[in-house]
Amino acid sequence: MGNCSSCGTGAGPMAEGQELVEFVYNAHGGALRQRPIPDGGLLTRCQGCGAEFRLTTFVGLCPACDGVHAVSPPRAGDAANIQFAGKDFRLA
């Protein structure tokens, strides 16, 4: 796991799972979470229910089950880097 010295959360853009989701959600005062992923986003499968969907912002929800997924900007070139916060995780 890496550290983002400008964010001071202890997690970083290379974190995994819920830790990465929370990091991206809070990064830069929350400004990053709704920024569009370049090139129209990443086609993926929900890691909770298996439904296919396109993650178009750095933090997004599966339209079938509301599972929270995220990818950090340095890793947004590959859908394999999308992280899932867990079945019971909900955004505040």
Q: Where are the domains of the chain?
A: 17-84
Rounded Cα distance between 49 and 66, Å, is: 9
- Each residue's pLDDT tens digit, 60-92: 999 999 999 999 999 999 999 999 999 899 887
Amino acid letter for position 58: F
- Each residue's pLDDT tens digit, 32-53: 999 999 999 999 999 999 999 9
Q: What is the DSSP string of 28-41?
A: GGGTSTTSBPGGG-
Question: What pTM was estimated for this model as a whole?
Answer: 0.86
Q: What is the pLDDT of residue 15?
A: 87
> CA–CA distance from 65 to each of 3, 14, 30, 37, 92 (Å)?
31, 25, 23, 21, 16
More confident residue, 65 or 12: 65
The answer, yes or no, to whether residue 5 has pLDDT greater than 60, is no
Rounded Cα distance between 68 and 85, Å, is: 6
